Amino acid sequence: MLDSFRRRFDRLRDHPVGRRQPIQALLRFMKAEIINTWLGYPFLVNHEFGVVLIVERGHHGTRGHYFFGVLEFEDELFAIDFLRPDELFIDIGANLGMFSVMVAATTGARVVAVEPSPSSSRVFKRHIALNDLTDRIKLIEACAGDSTGGAFIMDTIESTNFVVLQDADLQPGMTKTPMIRIDDVVDGKSPCLMKMDVEGFEMQALMGATQLLDSENLEAITVEIADMSSRYGVSPDDTHKFITGFGFTAVTYNPLTRVLTPAESWKRSNKLGVSNTIYVRNLERARQRLSTAPRRHLHTLPI
């Protein structure tokens, strides 16, 4: 238990908001530990961006948003600064849905989210209803791949959940889920931004989205690229080359300065262990979008 607490404290300290507001972040962390862990109750929080959060034990995504305002500092704020009202955002591997909920509530964008875990989807639906976003967020309970059919996934809220294709690889607690192609989901629509975090299954999901990747309407993508893809026989470099082959450029984004910088590769050095890479189709057009986004605050931190 002590090691677990220490790891969570380290993450608190290393997050960009935690580094700049250590006392406030620590107080929020301690409140959640007392109410969620010691007393065993969830509680509601009104976020600065107009979202109501259910902060609950074991719900990493919602607790992180309570501690820091946003959990994935660079990627989430890139999406919030990039999107405009009524544009379409595609969230593949939505987990508890906090990324989608924050984007929809903050920017007024429409969202199509894909999440295969029944347990994660139930939490996601609660936040959609609580924030009156049923007309703005469409949740598809499936996994994204390069074909239609079925796969298996653990029925859990863990963000490290991954797709299993072979019966021989099944583990206790896994449940069957439909597999869909992203191109079929967005047929006739024009997504502006796509986020993908599917624990190593990114290449297969991208191969089911080649029409979308080839569309000039898709301005940017955020993709988790990591060694986890080796479980499916794919290297991170393979995924990176596949994406750049459609005309995208890897970049880094500083939400505090609104600076977008070309990156040499998909690799990022980050104490938080984040392995997401942002890609844009047109660097100058992306910079213009980001520079004109509304200014906001995260727990009094101007962004």
Do the domain assignments include residue 299? no
163 & 210 share domain: yes
End-to-end CA distance of the chain: 35
165 & 277 share domain: yes
Do the domain assignments include residue 220? yes
Q: What is the rounded CA–CA span in Å between residue 206 and residue 277?
A: 14
Average pLDDT, the chain: 90
Q: What is the rounded CA–CA span in Å between residue 51 and residue 63?
A: 13
Boundary residue ending a domain (70, 87, 116)? 70
Boundary residue ending a domain (36, 51, 70)? 70
Q: What is the rounded CA–CA span in Å between residue 194 and residue 188?
A: 16
Do the domain assignments include residue 301? no
Domain residue limits at 212: 72-293
Residue 177, beta-bridge partner list? 151
- Is the pLDDT higher at 227 or at 235? 235
17 & 144 share domain: no
253 & 113 share domain: yes
Total count of domains within the chain: 2
Boundary residue ending a domain (70, 96, 128)? 70
- Answer whether 0.85 is exceeded by the pTM: yes
What is the DSSP code (8-state) at residue 85? T
62 & 103 share domain: no
Do the domain assignments include residue 298? no
Q: What is the rounded CA–CA span in Å between residue 293 and residue 108?
A: 13
CATH number, position 213? 3.40.50.150
42 & 108 share domain: no
- Contacts with 44 (C-beta within 8 Å, 6 or more apart), sequence order: 52, 53, 54, 55
* 110-114/259-262 β-pairing: unpaired
- Digit-coded pLDDT (tens) for 246-295: 999 999 999 999 999 999 878 764 444 456 899 999 999 999 999 999 99
Three-state SS at 167: helix
Task: List the structure tokens of 195.
Answer: 């986020």
Q: What is the residue type of 81? A: D
Do the domain assignments include residue 245? yes
pLDDT of residue 6: 65
51 & 110 share domain: no
* Location of structure tokens 């629509």: 189
pLDDT of residue 32: 95
Task: List the structure tokens of 144.
Answer: 């994204």
120 & 2 share domain: no
159 & 223 share domain: yes
159 & 207 share domain: yes
85 & 52 share domain: no
The closest alpha carbon to 239, from 268, 217, 283, 207, belongs to: 207
Q: What is the rounded CA–CA span in Å between residue 85 and residue 105?
A: 10
Task: List the structure tokens of 292.
Answer: 């004109």
57 & 158 share domain: no
pLDDT of residue 168: 46
pLDDT of residue 13: 80
